[in-house]
Structure 1
């Protein structure tokens, strides 16, 4: 794969700053799940907020 000079430079700066290693360490240390799991609960909250707002406007 051929990188553009800008992409290659950006990648070099990120590696030099140790950013990928720091991000990996932060991910390993977090208690957050790898994937979101509250989609159904969020949907219910949004539906309730919308229906409450619609009934308040009447």
Structure 2
């Protein structure tokens, strides 16, 4: 799966919460991308967009 695409999707999701894309470190982007890819492999039927939104929300609310 394309991690660059996922990073862009994470950035857009952060913008929806009025957060700067630079507020995440490279390590956090990689960690979130790996988590999203793992979820997509476990649940191939789920939409990638929804998975990204869920993971970013969990990250923001410190649930992840």
Q: TM-score, normalised by structure 1?
A: 0.32
- Larger relative contact order, structure 1 or 2 (CA cutoff 8 Å, min sep 6): 2
Q: TM-score scaled to structure 2, two decimals? A: 0.29
